[in-house]
A = this chain, B = another copy of it.
Amino acid sequence: MIIVLKPTATQKEIEHLMEKIESLGLKPWLSEGVERSIIGVIGKEDIIRVMPLEGIPAVEKVIPILKPYKLASLDYKPEPSQIKIGGDLSIGGKKIIIMAGPCSVENRDMLLKTAGIVKKAGAQVLRGGAFKPRTSPYSFQGLAEEGLKYLAEAKEKTGLFVVTEVMDVRNLALVMKYADILQVGARNMQNYDLLKEIGKTKKPVLLKRGMANTIKELLMSAEYILSEGNTNVILCERGIRTFEDFTRFTLDLNAVPALKSLSHLPVVVDPSHGTGRWGMVNSMAWAAIAAGCDGLIVEVHPQPEDAFSDGEQSLLPVKFEELMRQAEKIAQAVGRTL
């Protein structure tokens, strides 16, 4: 850690700071420059990172050198992690995993129908929400356990694995019974109690990036889960908030190579929520594969105009089939398979 001092810092203030650092068992060294003096700190940065040194008037700024996450970093584990979803299916290797299905589980028929469609088109995992985080209290909030049961039935009938969201720690045990992958939604990326509870399980978890969260913060939320002992974390880019209002969010594909350069964890992209427009989903799905993602999660609905949620961004089956056909070619072009 580097501490930059104000030009007005007095000798006494500097000594006070040096003593403070030494009292933590760390070794400070002072470098006096013409315009600014700086103090370098050698030793475990973790100890000092949590200290509010910028609260000290003589300090201009504090610059950490090390990354604030460990277990999620490439430094810690330089090889990509492959996470087992179930059966022979893993994510993080050569094969790109496709998760598809409706935003919400609306009823038994539509779910089974959609499951059949996405299976046939080549998906390996069925998505579908039983508990739905909705901006308005007056919107459809999901079928709860009934929805989970339909997911289980669809899994049995098609062989698809199931990814579904858990929103509340009180429902974790319930969702665990039915899900192959737990989804943590963007609005819960920093719901730390939920992350810790999930960390105590071994269940694979799809951790969505919050819409105002940096790549670093996504990795720190992953660290919450990893540090509790669950190493099966899959990261998911799903769009961030920016000033651009043509798209619902700004899908940040830069996160794909960025996360790959920082972490060993697999990266999935959600072009449906990321754009909020069905007409853009396919282009962005293909781009995600070219950028190096390990999987896609896509909304498909047999009749988007009747969807209870997010129909604007759901693909008709015929569009999803087009997505898959082209995705396969692009995967090949970048040395992957679908």
Contacts and interface: CB of A to CB of B under 8 A. Distances in A.
Interface in A298-326: 301, 304-314, 326
Nearest to A249: B254
A213 B144 CA distance: 26
A193 to B, nearest CB: 4
Contacts of A49: 136
B215 A193 contact: no
A192 B214 contact: no
Nearest to A70: B138
Contacts of A220: 135-137
A134 B244 CA distance: 19
Nearest to A210: B212
Given A188-B191, A311-B55, A215 B258 contact: no
A304 B52 contact: yes
Interface in A97-142: 133-141
Contact of A168 (B169, B214, B287): B169
A2 interface: yes
A311 B65 contact: no
Contacts of A46: 138
Contacts of A306: 51
A138 B50 CA distance: 9
Nearest to A315: B55
Contacts of A333: 326, 329-330, 332-333
B137 A224 contact: yes
Contacts of A243: 212, 214, 240-243
Given A223-B136, A254-B247, A308 B50 contact: yes
A275 interface: yes
Contact of A68 (B2, B136, B329): B136
Nearest to A69: B136
Quick one: copies of this chain in the complex? 4
A146 interface: no
A63 B63 contact: yes
A326 B334 contact: yes
A227 B137 contact: yes
A236 interface: no
A36 interface: yes
Contacts of A308: 50
A57 B64 CA distance: 21
A322 to B, nearest CB: 12
A284 B42 CA distance: 36
A217 B301 CA distance: 27
B250 A55 contact: no
Interface stretch (A86-94, A151-159, A173-181, A289-297): A289-297
A195 B279 CA distance: 31
Given A50-B308, A54-B312, A307-B55, A36 B291 contact: no
The 6 closest A-B pairs by CB, nearest first: A52-B311, A212-B212, A55-B304, A55-B311, A329-B333, A290-B290
Given A215-B246, A243-B243, 8 more contacts: A31-B42, A40-B40, A68-B136, A134-B192, A137-B227, A257-B275, A257-B279, A326-B333
